[in-house]
Every structure is written in structure tokens, then in C-alpha cells.
Amino acid sequence: MTFVADVWTSFAREMKPLVSGWVWLAFGLVQPLLYIGLFVPLLGGIGIDGPSPLQWFIPGMIVMLTLFGTAMVGWSLTEELLSGVLERFLATPMSRPALLIGRALKELFPLVFQAVVMIIIAIPFGLQLFPLEMLYGLVLLGLFGVGVAALSYALAVAAKDDTSMFYMVSQSVALPLMLLGGVLLPMEMAPGWLYTASRFNPLTYVVEAERALFVGEFFTPAALNGTLVVVAVLIVGLAVGSRVIKRASL
């Protein structure tokens, strides 16, 4: 029970500025909404067979929002490292892994909120709803975001006060993952060598799972593969993050 209480304490602490800073959540939607308004109209002429382009474009955008939104959350931890706040927390009897897990769980709420807003806005543009499948897709995205956030926090602790190192590594990893994940366009449109390279990218399977779910395909290999990747990222993220923060000496 002590561990659970520590997780809750960390989670509640991180939620306070999130609730009061809702404007930043809305601001984070500006870029995706620009894509919907200015990029989606171009998709009608690219000749992809199948459902409306929104059915595969919106899930791709939500995955991109999740990836970049959580890959950079460790930045807030670097500020606490520099100010000495984290050092004081680590000196308390609170469980170190609980401190990290509570912070990572907080990322569920902004991710799901922004994804739901994007879905609602896309409905007038022609997005068809598959409630149960989309709900499962949001759960997958939330868990994926928690795993990535834990890795981001681990990187921040490892980088200590070297903020430029944190930024360089996180961006150097996140950008290739996005480009090879087929976020903006399906990788089936890519040259053979690029498509083959994308099969080694875990984000590809998350994107494909979301696209399958957004067209109502639940019991498919794409949804299963994406689920397995999300579970793996979640386990690895929490394990690595817990290990790094346990060994941290600030």
C-alpha cells in the first residue's frame, strides 16, 4: 500500500499544474488542427483506395501527438534537477520508482483529452466513428505514452543538468521514428527499401494498429501486433525508468 500511496502522491502533484494550465493543452492542438484544415484537403487527390483519408490520417496524427508530447516530458524533470527540487524528493522516504510511475501516469490525461478533441473536430470533415474500436485505440495510445514518458524521464535523469544532451537525444530518436512510422502517409506508398526499413520501427505497428481500429477492424493482425508493441514499450519504459531513478545520485 505504501508504494501505491507514493504513486498517487506523485501523480496528484503532477496533475495540479496540468489542471490549472489547460491553456497549454489547447495550444498543443494548434499544429494537428492546422494539418486537418490545410493538409487533409490535399489527400483526396493522391489515389489511395479504401475509406476516407481521415480514417487513416487522424490516427496517424494522434500517434504523432503522443510521441512528441511524451518524448519531451523529461524536460520538466531537467528543470527540477537544476533547481534541486528533485534532489529533495529523492531524499524523502518516498519510493523512487513510484515517483517516476506517478509522473508517467499523468501523461494519460492530456493525451486522451487532445485525441478526443481531434476526433470530435474531424467528424464534420467526414470522419466515421467506430466507438468501441476507437476507445480501445485511445487506451493503447495512453499506455504507449506512459511508456515513452518513462523513457523520457529516465533520459532526463541520466543527462542530469545537460539539457542540450536531453534535447538532442530525444529529438534524434523521435524524429526518425515518426518519419519511418508512416504517420502522415501509409508506408505502403513508400519505395520498397523504405517500407522494409519501416518494419524494424516499433512505431509503425502502433500506427497500423490505430488505423485498423479507426476503420472498425478489431480482431486483425495489425491490432494484435500494435497491442504487443505497446505492452512491450510500457514494460520496458517503466523498467528502465525505475532502474535509472533507483541508481540516480544527484
- What pLDDT score does 15 carry? 75
- What pLDDT score does 231 carry? 96
- What pLDDT score does 203 carry? 94
Rg of the chain (C-alpha set): 19
The tens place of each residue's pLDDT in the chain, 250 residues long, gives: 587 887 887 777 777 766 665 666 667 667 777 777 777 777 765 656 556 788 888 999 899 988 988 888 887 777 777 777 767 776 777 777 888 788 888 878 888 888 888 888 888 888 899 999 999 999 999 999 999 988 998 888 888 777 778 888 888 888 889 888 888 878 887 888 888 999 999 999 999 999 999 999 999 999 999 999 999 999 999 999 888 887 766 5
8-state DSSP, 20: H
DSSP string, 69-81: HHHTTHHHHHHHH
Q: How many domains does the chain have?
A: 1
Domain extent for 122: 3-249
Would you tell me how many other CB atoms lie within 10 Å of the CB of residue 197?
15
The closest of 63, 68, 72, 67 to 118, measured between CA atoms, is 63
Q: How far is CA 17 from CA 40, 76, 80, in A?
A: 34, 12, 14
Cβ(42)–Cβ(137) under 8 Å? no
- What pLDDT score does 51 carry? 66
Residue 50 sits at φ, ψ, to 5 deg, of 120, -155
- What pLDDT score does 250 carry? 54
Would you tell me how many other CB atoms lie within 10 Å of the CB of residue 173?
16
Pure H helices in 160-220: 163-180, 192-198, 202-214
Would you tell me how many other CB atoms lie within 10 Å of the CB of residue 45?
8
Q: How far apart are CA 151 and CA 73, in angstroms?
A: 10
Pure H helices in 21-130: 22-27, 30-34, 40-43, 53-71, 74-83, 85-90, 96-106, 108-122
